Amino acid sequence: MNEILITGTGLFTPPESITNTELVSSFNHYVAEFNATHAQAIANNEIEALKESDEEFIFKASGIKNRYVMNKASILDIKIMQPILAKRADSELSLQAEMAVCAAKEALIRANLAANEIDAVIVACSNLQRPYPAIAIEVQKELGISGFAFDMNVACSSATFAIQTAYSTIKSDIAKRVMIVMPEICSAHLNFKDRDSHFIFGDVCTAVIIETGQTCKSSSAYKIIATKTKTEFSNNIRNNFGFLTKTESEVFKQPSNIFNKDYFFMQQGRKVFKEIIPMVAELIANHLAENNIAVKEIKRFWLHQANANINRLVTEKLLGNFSDERLVPSILNDYANTSSPGCIIAFHKYNEDLKIGDIGVLCSFGAGYSIGNIILEKIC
The answer for residues whose C-beta is within 8 angstroms of residue 122's C-beta and 6 or more apart is: 136, 149, 150, 151, 152, 162, 165, 166, 178, 179, 180, 181
**Cα(23)–Cα(29) distance, integer angstroms:** 10
| 288 phi, psi to nearest 5 deg | -65, -45
Residue in 125, 156, 205, 343 annotated catalytic:
156
In the DSSP assignment, the letter for residue 32 is: H
Tell me the three state secondary structure of residue 231: strand
**Cα(148)–Cα(175) distance, integer angstroms:** 9
**Cα(123)–Cα(100) distance, integer angstroms:** 8
Give catalytic status of residue 156 as yes or no: yes
Tell me the three state secondary structure of residue 269: helix
| 79 phi, psi to nearest 5 deg | -85, -10
Residue 17, Cβ neighbours under 10 Å: how many?
Answer: 17
Q: How many CA atoms lie within 13 A of 322 on its CB side?
A: 22
Integer-rounded Cα Rg, in Å, for the chain is: 21
**Cα(197)–Cα(114) distance, integer angstroms:** 41
Q: Report the amino acid identity of residue 21.
A: T
**Cα(89)–Cα(281) distance, integer angstroms:** 46
Residues with a catalytic annotation lie at 156
